[in-house]
Structure 1
């Protein structure tokens, strides 16, 4: 299985590089580069063949080819201390990723070792990624950005970002400018800045107990952007955040009608499993609101 997985990965990676070279001229000609040029954030690297939450190499490539340039990925630490792209270590997630018939019972619902993780394909054919592979993608796709989803569990938030920053600095420190951490409460920003002061940070509100006033004040003070569940994205809150100069994202939205409604409220971007950047660009005048920036 190991040889087969490695060979499959090598072939797919070579294909991706060829596609990059073919499209490089078009990429260079695109106007409005940078974060503000894009509306879609591919949740867990976006879907691949209708499957979500995979965080796999093939999902990145498939969604990049559809115009998406902002990618969110989940990051966890393996049982032996390696940083990998995985949403959660649960039996339910192993089931969703098609691994229950592959992993022994005693390895389900718990953190896998690095070797077990990397050598257990997702849904039989897709390639799991470690942080080095994610950096490969950032290096070879210079207009892509990565939003991190590192859950704070057992106080390990700092450890994971220390690993991330150290590995990225060793590869190419310039890549850090295209990594956008998510924080889950206000004190986390100070903890993050002690490790590395990223140029862009997103404060996600789905676990936050902060009032609208607290969120707006924090964003004004620190310059963080905001992402929130659809249920919290009302016209008044979004408008006040926009007046404060904040970029506003919502998650997770897979319906184009809902995206259009949120766009009319002034929302800048949308975490989504299934909608591509190209779809948003061509959706009934939606793209014209880019020029609010």
Structure 2
């Protein structure tokens, strides 16, 4: 009897030692590239009380706060140059306080690249051409640029990505490793890969009609690096399904730490933000 008890005790001890020796799985998969960062600065991030500026000064303010991933809005100018602007129209011109920079007849127009550079945001902040953004990639080798191409007609997408790729290649082909395109529908993936096999691509859902199941299947089977969604699209089941597939989710646009905490409890990994920096998100966990 004692021998049986001793044997059982030895078995239990051996199992315990084996369990201790087996390394525990990390609670979250370690990511590389842009996914090392939980914050993506929305439209280059906010500056003072302003958002959507896409300006050099907004970039600098948020870089100094520790942000390293920057989303930029991209449009084609009247003369077919690629520029960093969210939209055209008189309302937006007034919102960016550019009404003193050009004649009134140009407030609602599609500007040339020269007019765009002339019209300082708030009379002081420098608007960025795509070539300026490429120079930022050269000067700051630790940053990533996430594209938000506001024109999504297939012909316009062709022109935009041809310019993105040609300009970066002309400066240094390795810069393309730090450019992260956002796609808005499934066919766009094949379209942009005609120009370059980007290392990381984000599927953003604000224009997508895909069901959660279609999103998961597409992302998992096409090497999508991350999925971005609005607050209205956040679905805990989808978020956790993507997480199990090794695909992090980001939510836009979040400036409230309480919301960050709420969504992280649902499994959300990161956030597009105007005013939060990466260390603030980590601190809210």
Give the TM-score of the pair, scaled to structure 1.
0.84
Output aligned runs, 1:224-263, within 5 Å.
224=224, 225-263=226-264
Deviating beyond 6 angstroms after TM superposition, the runs of 4 or more aligned structure 1 residues are none
1:32 Cα shift?
A: 8.0
Residues in 2 aligned to 1:230 and 1:211: alpha-carbon distance in whole angstroms: 16
* Deviation of the 1:140 alpha carbon: 1.1
Q: Max radius of gyration: which structure?
A: 2
- Listed as ranges, the matches of 1:130-279 within 5 Å are 130-155=129-154, 156-224=156-224, 225-279=226-280
The answer to whether the 8 A contact 1:151-1:157 is kept is no
SS at match of 1:228: strand
Structure 2, unaligned runs of 5 or more = 1-29
* SS of the residue 1:199 aligns to: coil
d(CA) in 2 for partners of 1:43 and 1:89?
A: 18
SS of the equivalent of 1:188 reads helix
CA shift, 1:269, in A, is 1.0
Given that residues 37 and 270 in structure 2 are in contact (C-alpha distance below 8 angstroms), is that contact kept between their aligned partners in structure 1?
A: yes
Q: Mapping of 1:27-106 within 5 angstroms?
A: 34-106=33-105
Superposed CA deviations along residues 46-71 of structure 1, whole A, max 9, x for unmatched, are 00112100000001110011010010
Cα offset for 1:102? 2.5
CA contact (8 A) 1:135 1:168 kept: yes
User: For 2:108 and 2:186, how far apart are their aligned partners in 1?
Assistant: 31
Counterpart contact for 2:55–2:126, Cα < 8 Å: yes
Distance in 1 between residues matched to 2:229 and 2:73, nearest whole Å: 17
CA distance in 2, matches of 1:248, 1:205: 11
C-alpha distance in structure 2 between counterparts of 1:189 and 1:32, whole Å: 22
* Structure 2 equivalent of residue 25 of structure 1: none
Residue aligned with 1:253, SS: coil
Mapped partners of 1:234, 1:154: distance in 2: 28
165-174 or 239-248, which deviates more: 239-248
Query: Secondary structure, in 3 states, of the residue corresponding to 2:72?
Result: strand
The structural deviation recorded for 1:110 is 2.2
Q: Give the C-alpha shift of residue 246 in structure 1.
A: 0.9
CA offsets, 1:261-286, max 9 Å, x none?
Answer: 11111111100111112322333xx2
| RMSD of aligned Cα (Å) | 1.5
Is the CA contact 2:42–2:72 (under 8 Å) kept in the aligned structure 1? Answer: yes
Q: Count how many residue pairs are aligned between Structure 1 and Structure 2.
A: 254
CA deviation profile, 1:70-99 (whole Å, cap 9, x unmatched):
100001111111111111111111011101
Deviations 1:16-60 (A, max 9, x none): xxxxxxxxxxxxxxx986323210000000001121000000011
- What secondary structure sits across from 1:241 in the alignment? helix
Structure 1 82/39 Cα, relative in aligned 2: closer, same or farther at 3 Å?
same
What's 1:17 paired with?
Answer: none
CA distance in 2, matches of 1:35, 1:95: 33
Aligned mates of 2:182, 2:152 — CA distance in 1: 14
Partner of 1:124: 123
Shift of 1:186: 0.4
Give the conservation status (yes or no) of the 8 Å contact 2:87–2:150: no
